[in-house]
Amino acid sequence: MISPTDDHGASSPATIRVLTADDHPVVRAGVRAMIANEPDIDLVAEATDGAEAIRLYAEHVPDVVLMDLRMPRMTGVEAVRAIVAAHPEARIIALTSYEGDADIYRALEAGAQGYLLKDMLGTEVIRAIRSVAAGKRVIPPEVAARLAEFTPRSDLTAREEEVLFLAAKGLRNRDIARVIGRTEATVKVHLKHVMAKLGADDRTQAVTLALQRGIVHLD
């Protein structure tokens, strides 16, 4: 690979090309402003959802992607998985406000090389971009600590997650049964399995743990 040269023939560092994917204009504007001050980083495209991120990645093939996890149409985790499947060399940083260990695990399992919280916006993001572009993984200590809490016992089935989500919204068992088209007895069985997997003593504790760990979200 030939390095870019200036007018005098001297070598200059290659520019790191970045794609951001976030449905919040304020976040995109903040990232755009930070990158504008960095001579070695160039923002080549901005996506507002996961589906657009996949399309823009294929179009621009950036060096690094900053991917929000919660977006409309397609989540960031789904987008990460799709991009990495089509482009195994892709380098993606999950940038999100969620710090539950389940969220972190999903993003890294999908193929992300880094995981940053949005309150880390600033020099931490710039450092992460450079590190991931260089082939390194970026997991801040506080994120690593949450990831260490993760255990496969918290893996719920899609139906169990649905029941837990409805329980978190305050629905009673009979209401949950009506929503999912099953009997109330079936709902009770699902909740029993959920409590066992999360190590919860009751329904309320299961919901609290699920919200804290990012297994379900109410927004």
Residue 158 reports pLDDT greater than 50: yes
pTM, full prediction: 0.68
pLDDT category at 53 given cuts 50, 70, 90 is very high
Alpha helices in the chain (DSSP H): 25-36, 50-60, 76-86, 101-110, 123-133, 141-148, 158-168, 173-180, 184-198, 203-213
pLDDT category at 4 given cuts 50, 70, 90 is very low
DSSP state of 149: T
16-148 carries CATH number 3.40.50.2300: yes
Q: Are 62 and 19 in contact (CB under 8 A)?
A: yes
| Pairwise CA distance, residues 125 & 145, whole Å | 19
Alpha helices in 101-172 (DSSP H): 101-110, 123-133, 141-148, 158-168
Instruction: Tell which CATH architecture fits domain 152-213.
Output: Orthogonal Bundle (1.10)
Place of tokens 């001050």: 37
Domain positions in the chain are 16-148, 152-213
